[in-house]
Amino acid sequence: MDIEKLNYGILIVDKEKKIIESNNLFFVIMGFSYDQFVKDGFNLYSNKIDLFLDSIINEYESAVTYEEVFELANDDTIRKCVKLIVSKLDDNEFIITAFDCTALDPFLSKIYFKNRIEIYKNITDLISIEYNNQLTAILGFASFAKTALNPESDLFKYFNIIENAAVHAASLTNQLLTYTGIDYFRQKYININKIITQNVDILRKVFPAKIRIDLSLYPGEPLIFWDENQVNQLIINAIMNAKEAIESKLSTGRIGIYTTMDKDAIYIKIEDDGLGIPDEFKSRIFQKNFTTKNLKYHSGLGLAVSDGIIKNMGGRIEVETKHKKGSVFTFIIPNKFVDLHDIETPVNDEQSEPLHATILIIDDKQSIRNLASLLLKVKGYTTFSAKDHTEALDILDNQNIDLVLLDIMMPGVRGDELYFKIIEKKKDMPVIMLTGTSNENIVDTLIKQYGVGLILKPFKNEEFYSIIEKKLWTGKQ
């Protein structure tokens, strides 16, 4: 057979991956010359291809054909999508067939990964909204029930268990959003050790047994004032990178996580004994879209996102790495005290006493409407409820409303669209978003441009009251 006439690439190699025979199209598809391949092999692009071939050659099962798709990157752009099929010719020879997927579909390599991630994000966002609606009702009614019970009673303790479970479930939902890069920025004091422990507890359950995670955490409470979702993302990215570095080495491995602090900074060190980073890539690891991994599964955004988060905190990342030996990433975060009185002004009892406002609750979930109405009525407010925009606008036309609680994601008319209909009718109406969505475009626009307040589901009852009272007194959240 004249392999030069084939419309796909052919490469025949021995167990040492030395070339026995090939056609020119193989090197055209792979994007490098014969001489380059002889010199550097498949490491010209990614050690993933080399490791893929090593695993096949060293552990080949008879009568089995192996295949994998690789998206080959050049700088910050995806050059092409290549499918490699490996078969065994005899005890010492393997044939590698290369197909150019990009030639079959010119858009595949550019949009496949982005579309797949976008679909996952959208589905996760929708599911999280429903989770948060259910958790809001569970947490809110459990907290309210406790106010009518003796703290020493068994029933109080049972409701306390329900309340704590709902809080934990809400934290897991936030972590789910963090995994997909969806979140809304909300600052509070958080314990770094607690965040690390929570994530490690989850990841240990899904990591392979060959990867061990060891913790050595500062004995005190290293607190930072930042968004919990972003800190979760920081920790998750670092641990997942360490895991993948170990897996790339095709061996057992260890991840060590350490926290320390002094008067100037909090230090988070995450080390692994994985593959490490080649010298030629060290200067590029924080570049957006740069990755040494298979672009079919990785966006090259993890370290770039982590670097951005740390810089926004006023900190920095230090990296020590040696190829085939492992890496150490140290996050250095300024140890700053934030006076919460400078950020929020609690409404005191003297301010809250004279309020006798009428509040309209707009939410398509009856459980949320019932909870909000109950919480407000016990504080002396008058409430009206609407399940959709038609009922809401009708109530606004016929009742004297002082404040609107508005869900953002509802069937028919989206919450931000309904907001503009509301202010068309009553220009100075105070509005608070009561929402479980993390859609930053909607939320940011209404907060920054129009001064709309925000209560994120699920909420604590004290937080619910505080934000509403503040909005009624000051017109600000």
Q: What's the pLDDT at 195?
A: 92
Domains of the chain: 3-106 (3.30.450.20), 113-334 (3.30.565.10), 345-474 (3.40.50.2300)
**Mean pLDDT computed over 181-204:** 82
Give, in order, the Cα–Cα distances in Å from 100 to each of 27, 32, 70, 81, 173. 11, 14, 10, 6, 40
Mean pLDDT, residues 196-200 taken together = 92
Predicted confidence (pLDDT) at residue 416 exceeds the cutoff of 90: no
DSSP structure class, residue 356: -
pLDDT at 242: 94
Q: Is residue 245 within 8 Å of residue 281, measured between CB atoms?
A: no
pLDDT surpasses 80 at 457: yes
Q: What are 2-25's pLDDT values in tens digits? A: 678 777 888 888 888 888 888 898
pLDDT at 173 over 90: no
Looking at residue 295, its pLDDT comes to 42
Q: What is the pLDDT of residues 77-104, one digit of tens each?
A: 446 778 888 887 777 788 888 887 765 5
pLDDT of residue 61: 52
Q: Which residues, in sequence order, are CB contacts of 199 under 8 Å at separation 6+?
A: 175, 232, 235, 236, 239
Is-contact 149 155, C-beta < 8 A? yes
Amino acid at 365: K
- Give the model's confidence band at 45: pLDDT under 50 very low, under 70 low, under 90 confident, else very high: low
pLDDT band at 299 (very low <50, low <70, confident <90, very high): very low
Percentage of the chain beyond pLDDT 90 is 35
Torsion from C-alpha of 45, 47, 50, 54, nearest 10 degrees: -170
pTM of the model: 0.56
Q: Assess whether pLDDT exceeds 90 at residue 410.
A: no
Span of 101-110, 144-153, 190-199, 299-308 with lowest mean pLDDT: 101-110
Residue 346: pLDDT band (50, 70, 90) is very low
Q: Which of 256-260, 397-401, 411-415 has the lowest mean pLDDT?
A: 411-415
Residue 438 reports pLDDT greater than 60: no
C-alpha dihedral over 211, 217, 223, 229, to 10 degrees? 10
Q: Say if residue 58's pLDDT is above 80.
A: no
CB neighbour burial string for 206-229, b if at least 16 within 10 angstroms, e if fewer: ebeeebebeeebeeeebbbebbbb
- Is residue 310 within 8 A of residue 317, CB to CB? The reply is yes
Looking at 169-183, 307-321, 414-428, which range is the least confident one?
Answer: 169-183
User: At residue 164, does pLDDT exceed 90?
Assistant: no
* pLDDT tens track for 64-80: 567 777 777 655 444 67
Least trusted range by pLDDT, from 62-76, 127-141, 463-477:
62-76
Q: Is the pLDDT of residue 290 over 70?
A: no
The pLDDT score that the predictor gives to residue 350 is 46
pLDDT of amino acid 320: 94
Tokens 């019932």 appear where? 370
